[in-house]
Structure 1
């Protein structure tokens, strides 16, 4: 997700670049990204969006959407049907196991991405539940946010071995400050104009699942500040590991900065 005049939150998107680096962040492995900007005007867009990977299973198709007046989101299963990541897929009929949520209001914004393995159940359930909570309750601080995470679990034994990363961020427009929680290797990045992109969250190799409260009880918390004109970028590891397990030939911070600058720091143009 990108947000202008807010700070950036990035969760890695599983995207694969096959031939060249893109002119935007919409590349060819599965992609979940969201962008937000305070002065992006999209009056016809809804102010919230939930995208579930099971609804976007077609290789080679990249879908992007405006969200509210300031944000945008994108999702794709990618185009590389032979990616080594296929060994983590549980069902060949559901190759996109990721999910994302965006809520964009006058007072605050919330962004979440999840990258599942061995089935979509964990990412879809956790992000969908978080999205529904956000539509009713705004997280007030990092501790309150952590309590929300614990309540995301389903409580029933999971029928699959699905597990997921989960990255969620809340941003307060009045104070220009925000906070977030991270489980796994997704990324939250603040992209400031004429500044190198700053990765805010600390990534790890842990995973959560929908029936294990303990897996949701110890996320890594972080806080940040964003200045006017900044983009908030949230993505799964398909962005910075679009060449699977080879970040040095994948999208680098300099590429993100170039894409954002070339798009005029416009959220929708940045992810499409």
Structure 2
């Protein structure tokens, strides 16, 4: 399977990934799309807020509702206009949460739709970096630089970054490490933003081999049912003949001699 990564933003770019490596890249949204391709769109870091939360033993709707409350508390504002996406439950109930303005999601999807693109997944740019067990990582994505720690991920900023990291050292990923991280993130998104109400509609397709098998089974069932009905009718007819014969004998016995 080929993955095409679309880096959204003012200067859009694309990457084509095959066999676990980036094999082509370019500007804009006009990569050559193979027949079997999975499209992953990456939303700019400046448009998202990434959170980590402990939400153990919750269903997906419950976890999403809890995540919305958490985002509202941490942002000190209403979350009505936000699209909240959550990652799968990790160790000890840990989940990654991404908040983005619903209007941004709608705009990106609409712009891609005009190009005939309906991405299979959408990621937040900071989550292209792996989550470190400790310390901080930084990656240069071209249009923007992103930073990620154990509990935070954001666009690099001369003022904000030292405040969030507490002045701790930030390790810059080299070219190879960054590309490996992008490949891994595209293959297995930590949080796919295409969750309700922006989930991708799955096309319903007919499984013709299954249809043929079901047709054969249906024919066999109909044949068996018909055979049972024929046997039942034959038995009923035989019983009726016996009853009729017995009645005739009794009737003749009741008649006077001669």
Same fold (TM over 0.5): no
Select the structure of larger CA radius of gyration.
2
Q: Which has the higher helix share?
A: 2
TM-score, normalised to structure 1, is 0.25
Q: Larger RCO: Structure 1 or Structure 2 (Cα < 8 Å, ≥ 6 residues apart)?
A: 1
